[in-house]
Every structure is written in C-alpha cells, then in structure tokens.
A = this chain, B = another copy of it.
Amino acid sequence: SAGDAAAGKAKAAVCAACHGQNGIALIPMYPNLAGQHEMYLVSSLKAYRSKERNGGMAAIMQGQAMALSDEDIADLSAYFSSLPAGGK
C-alpha cells in the first residue's frame, strides 16, 4: 500500500462530518467507508476530483476532492480501509 493510514487519520477530520468518526455514515445517503478496499477508495476519490463521478451527492465530494493531492488520497484511503467494517 502506498498510503499512510496514520497520516490519513490526521487528514480525515473533515470526512467524519458525513462519513462518521469510525467510517460509518450516520446519514444513509452517504456511504460507509470503514473497511472498504483501499484501491476502490483511491479510484473513487480520483473520479470525484476529476468530476467524472456525478449523480447522487457527488457535487459535495467533487468540492472536497478538489483540495486533495494524490498523496492525500492515498493516505485517506489507507486510513478508512484500515478501520473495521461495520464500525466495531
């Protein structure tokens, strides 16, 4: 894995508002991220950043992802992937 989960944790405060402190979204329109595959998270964040991913609540994530470097994306993906699925 290229991402640094500890670095990702430090960058994840803004994510928690919608995706939960433990990666479990309290609002059902938003996906749980805990335990998701790191590679998929990287791919999704890049698709939001490039504005290829639209529909649903994508506009919110496009705005968030715009500020992320490739390293930020790798670190955040490593972090959420490392959290236990289901929030346990």
Contacts and interface: CB of A to CB of B under 8 A. Distances in A.
Q: What's the number of copies of this chain in the assembled complex? A: 2
Contact of A54 (B25, B31, B47): B47
Interface centre among A56, A84, A86 (most CB of B within 10 A): A56
Interface residue tally of chain A, by bracket?
20 to 34
Dominant secondary structure of chain A at its interface with chain B: loop
Contacts of A50: 55
A85 B32 contact: yes
A25 B37 contact: yes
Nearest to A46: B55
A60 interface: no
A88 B84 CA distance: 12
Contacts of A34: 85
A39 B86 CA distance: 16
